Amino acid sequence: MKKKIRKIRKILVANRGEIAIRIFRAATELGIRTVAIYSEEDKRSLHRYKADEAYMVGKGQGPLRAYLAIDEIISLAKKEGVDAIHPGYGFLSENDQFSFACEEAGIIFIGPSGDIIAAMGNKVEAKKIASRIGLPLIPGPHSVADEEKALKFSEEIGYPVMLKASYGGGGRGMRIAGNPVELKKYFKEASSESLKAFGRSDIFIEKYVDRPKHIEVQILGDNYGNIVHCYERDCSIQRRHQKVVEFAPAICLHRSEDAERIRNGMYEAALKLSREIGYTSAGTDEFLYDPDSWNYYFMAMNTRNKDEQTVTEMLTGI
């Protein structure tokens, strides 16, 4: 039986600020009615006035938790006849429970399925899938539940090592340890920071690559099995593991035939992983490239649109 295609007439953006305004603009250009949500503290925020309709959510919950109120957002969407919800980036954009809640309510979630978000959201599990299909990985990763296991594994792969939060990103829960003393100190710090930022203290360890290039490959997938890449972005300029500037194309991958081989290898790796999990919507595969060894390694997949999308728009016109 042919699947019925539903026309989107009304979109709610479960976000605020710049990303919400960009989505409203795109929807308006497509003739789609828009709905904004805002917290009590954001009642004068510009995004509220850029939508056709606007409603307060999370009263009394604070400026951040209001945008995480899944039940209230879904209830509002149903009440106002919303066809689809766009999560933007941050907040609920990589929350598998939000994607599942939209599906259960009969609302289109503009993003990948909850199953895909759950699979890629845990970086250790994501790397297991990548390993299974032959993508190159940094030695590790190894999920560690306590300090003693962390010390033992670090001795096995050799220092320096990188501690990372198993859930989440943005540089939170990341530490570089060059010896056992530093590892003991940073293990507690990274676990605590991960718990505060993502609600989970899970940490994994992998070999630290010194002075690598951080390369992203953006992909787009539709609901019919078609997946394409949108080339790469170089996001190596960072402060405290937070990206400061991104640019495209990556100059370091356009200097020789070997660099061209590495670049195309990343494209194929991103497409291969996306096909393996049946990815839909916009997403980004992140790689570390070691110019000294001419090796690249899969790091993680962001199952959402990103603020860096504007760089890709300038590069491709998409």
Give the catalytic positions in this structure: 304
Distance between CA atoms of residues 7 and 140, nearest Å:
45
Cβ neighbours of residue 101 closer than 8 Å, sequence gap 6 or more: 70, 71, 74
Nearest to 250 by CA among 268, 266, 239, 270: 266
Judge residue 173's burial from the number of C-beta atoms within 10 Å of its C-beta, 0-12 exposed, 13-18 middle, 19 or more buried: buried
Judge residue 143's burial from the number of C-beta atoms within 10 Å of its C-beta, 0-12 exposed, 13-18 middle, 19 or more buried: middle
Cβ neighbours of residue 189 closer than 8 Å, sequence gap 6 or more: 175
Around Cβ 104, how many Cβ atoms within 10 Å?
Answer: 10
Distance between CA atoms of residues 149 and 152, nearest Å:
5
Helix intervals (H) in 93-216? 96-104, 114-121, 123-132, 147-157, 180-198
Nearest to 10 by CA among 55, 70, 60: 55
In single-letter form, the type of residue at position 198 comes to F
In the three-class reduction of DSSP (H, G, I as helix; E, B as strand; rest coil), residue 89 is classed as: coil
Q: Output the six-digit token pair for 68.
A: 């995480």
Phi, psi for residue 250 in degrees, rounded to 5: -75, 110
Nearest to 169 by CA among 129, 214, 212, 138: 214
Distance between CA atoms of residues 206 and 193, nearest Å:
18
